[in-house]
Structure 1
Amino acid sequence: MASEDVKRSESAVTTIVNLAEEAKFAKEGVQAPSHAFLSICKSLVAGGVAGGVSRSAVAPLERLKILLQVQNPHGIKYNGTIQGLKYIWKTEGFRGMFKGNGTNCARIIPNSAVKFFSYEEASKGILYLYRQQSGIEDAQLTPLLRLGAGACAGIIAMSATYPMDMVRGRLTVQTEMSPRHYRGIFHALTTVLWEEGPRALYKGWLPSVIGVVPYVGLNFAVYESLKDWLIKRRPFGLVEDSELGVTTKLACGAAAGTVGQTVAYPLDVIRRRMQMAGWKDAASVVTGDGNSKAPLEYTGMVDAFRKTVRYEGFGALYKGLVPNPVKVVPSIAIAFVTYELVKDVLGVELRISD
């Protein structure tokens, strides 16, 4: 009997200690370790789901964009969005419309998860430093600070998943006439690593880093700044009870995607060309005899820019731009809205604008 009393007393003490620790964490504005870990997992899941849903929704346009970016100017197959989609459907069928999407999702799901989570963590860190520097305890993130947080998130996410992006591009472009044939993601990764070396997995990484700063940074900055402006100004009766509807959030995401992709698009073209350098169906140049066409090789990002403009003109830096807004705008909008909706479903208290 005495032992049972002792056990009950110990249990009560443990409960009190746990409650005291939780109260301490709450008072200090810090989450308990287990709760914080669960919140991190939920945030990563939300980001992954957002990435997978948004990219799958626009997979045919994603493939067409890549094909337009790297196609040989001396053997045009794709003349525009409608013609290009019809050609893919006619020659490759339904599966051709989604070729490379499995690889794309395998890359974008972890990329999106890391990107959204990194943005939240970078935002908290930057806001903390900003409040310390300014001495204003209730200071909020400015558009410029949001741009910085988005840039940090984009660089981290892109660097972590870049090899997947590289092989995804090759899987998307390959045909029966391609110099190499990859059976899937793992086979592509191991083949590139074995035949071309580890550096080949990061071809085009530099323009990607440079491009991701304005692209992801502007996406987050424009999206959150627009939401903040709408909530504070309440124009046209779009906002009720300090909450935006799904349609309004989609519009904010669409605006963010339009601004980001327009600024960063030339760097995306150069990145893709560096990844596809040497491929038969990629950009080429007429050789000395005036007839044969050799695939272009690039020594670096600047060389890729120079040769692209020299042989194809400045407009080549915007190849595939027409289908890209049709793809990017809804993709970014769907990603932001899906992310916030999934976090609501999972019961995560913190959303990106909080």
Structure 2
Amino acid sequence: MSTEDVVRKSPIVNLAEEAKLASEGVKAPGHAILSICKSLVAGGVAGGVSRTAVAPLERLKILLQVQNPHNIKYSGTIQGLKYIWSTEGFRGLFKGNGTNCARIVPNSAVKFFSYEQASCAILALYRQQPGNEEASLTPLLRLGAGACAGIIAMSATYPMDLARGRLTVQTDMSPSRYRGMFHALKSVLREEGPRALYKGWLPSVIGVVPYVGLNFAVYESLKDWLIKSKPFGLFEDSELGVTTRLACGAAAGTVGQTVAYPLDVIRRRMQMGGWHNASSVVTGDGKAAIEYTGMVDAFRKTVRHEGFGALYKGLVPNSVKVVPSIALAFVSYEMVKDVLGVEVRISD
């Protein structure tokens, strides 16, 4: 699908056209609103399925990110998964996944709607410049729109992400346990104050820009290159197959998460700050792990005490889950889309 088609088929663009037609006395159907709702349902289901499938790797990634360097329990992907299985059983592999899935639907909804709005607004402003009247969305414009959508969606659902992180980290040996997402949110609010709900928010905001931006830029650039260059004569038309799009999406996700990963590590560590009940973030003598006064302080102390490599703890399981997660998201979304009759893809 070309950028022109994306803009033309955007539900937000359709809404704008319907409003214009309504102002001119022409009756237009409420088709666009229904299309948005169906797309959000499909996207939410796809996100939940894909996240659940890679939940063990997601939990291990977070445990690797925040474990105390003086009390190593998880030394790698295979060893870490075996350790979780032996100490917490099958359910331990999926700890925190319910909270993770609970935030997928609103996060996808806000991100989708925000991206469509931002894309249309940025493109409209760009076309106001002389010589750009017929311009279409470029990778750079998509980067900006994706960054805006990512920041808005992340900010709207950040407390749930913090609760999910803490539920994921706690184990059966934790002195005090959260019983669920809402209990975690209430406990944090009561014990640590409202500001604690947004611990690690700044590195998250900074990390969203390269992550979401590069996802769009790399994905679109790869698709354009494959369509235009037709390497080895593999492609004869202007549309790429599902397998090729999956490969492009996997490459884009890998590049984006690798660049933004250190900020994700810092975010997780800041989220755990002030919480002394996770066995993975306390020392052997029961004392709390290192406290951080801010993002820069977290970077400095992490590198000083554990080395630069600590900024990429958990990268392997995170990278391993990128490809199956994206693949399952696409397959699940297509299945739900066929059932509901969705016409516009969230990925577009």
Alignment equivalent of 1:235, drawn from 231, 236, 253: 231
Q: 1:108 to 1:243 in 2, by over 3 A?
A: same
Aligned to 1:181: 177
Q: TM-score, normalised by structure 1?
A: 0.84
Alignment equivalent of 1:245, drawn from 241, 251, 265: 241
Asked if structure 1 preserves the Cα contact closer than 8 Å seen for 2:43 and 2:346, the reply is: no
Asked if structure 2 preserves the Cα contact closer than 8 Å seen for 1:104 and 1:168, the reply is: yes
Aligned to 1:12: none
Q: Work out the CA distance in 2 between the residues paired with 1:299 and 1:163.
A: 19
Asked if structure 2 preserves the Cα contact closer than 8 Å seen for 1:249 and 1:333, the reply is: no
Q: Work out the CA distance in 1 between the residues paired with 2:19 and 2:189.
A: 52
Aligned to 2:13: none
Counterpart AA for 2:216: F
Quote the offset at 1:50 in angstroms.
Answer: 2.7
Aligned to 2:134: 138
Q: 1:164 to 1:32 in 2, by over 3 A?
A: farther
Alpha-carbon RMSD: 2.8
Q: 1:150 to 1:22 in 2, by over 3 A?
A: closer
Quote the offset at 1:22 in angstroms.
Answer: 7.0
Asked if structure 1 preserves the Cα contact closer than 8 Å seen for 2:215 and 2:256, the reply is: yes
Matched ranges for 1:193-342 at <5 A:
193-239=189-235, 241-278=237-274, 279=276, 280-283=278-281, 294-335=288-329, 338-339=332-333, 342=336
Q: 1:145 to 1:343 in 2, by over 3 A?
A: farther
**1:153 equivalenced with 2:149 (yes/no):** yes
**Which of structure 1's runs of 4+ aligned residues deviate more than 6 A?**
21-24
Q: Work out the CA distance in 2 between the residues paired with 1:71 and 1:178.
A: 14
Asked if structure 1 preserves the Cα contact closer than 8 Å seen for 2:88 and 2:172, the reply is: no
Aligned to 1:4: none
Quote the offset at 1:285 in angstroms.
Answer: 7.4
Counterpart AA for 2:81: L
Provide, for residues 314-345 of structure 1, a one-character-per-residue CA deviation record: whole Å limited to 9, x for no partner. Answer: 11111111111002343245435654664465
Q: Work out the CA distance in 2 between the residues paired with 1:50 and 1:352.
A: 11
Q: 1:23 to 1:319 in 2, by over 3 A?
A: closer
Q: Work out the CA distance in 2 between the residues paired with 1:337 and 1:147.
A: 25
Quote the offset at 1:296 in angstroms.
Answer: 1.1
Structure 1 residues 152-161 or 133-142, which shifts more? 133-142
Quote the offset at 1:205 in angstroms.
Answer: 0.4
State the identity as a percent: 84
Quote the offset at 1:134 in angstroms.
Answer: 4.3
**1:84 equivalenced with 2:80 (yes/no):** yes
Aligned to 1:101: 97
Aligned to 2:10: none
Q: Work out the CA distance in 2 between the residues paired with 1:76 and 1:120.
A: 44
Runs (5+) with no aligned partner, structure 1: 1-20
Aligned to 1:16: none
Q: Could you say what secondary structure the match of 2:30 adopts?
A: helix
Q: Could you say what secondary structure the match of 1:133 adopts?
A: coil
Relative contact order higher in (CA < 8 Å, ≥ 6 apart): 2
Asked if structure 2 preserves the Cα contact closer than 8 Å seen for 1:50 and 1:112, the reply is: no
Q: Work out the CA distance in 1 between the residues paired with 2:153 and 2:215.
A: 14
- Please say which structure displays the higher CA radius of gyration: 1
Asked if structure 2 preserves the Cα contact closer than 8 Å seen for 1:285 and 1:296, the reply is: no
Provide, for residues 78-133 of structure 1, a one-character-per-residue CA deviation record: whole Å limited to 9, x for no partner. Answer: 11001111111122121111111111000122212322332222222212221222
Aligned to 2:51: 55
Runs (5+) with no aligned partner, structure 2: 1-16
Asked if structure 2 preserves the Cα contact closer than 8 Å seen for 1:112 and 1:157, the reply is: yes
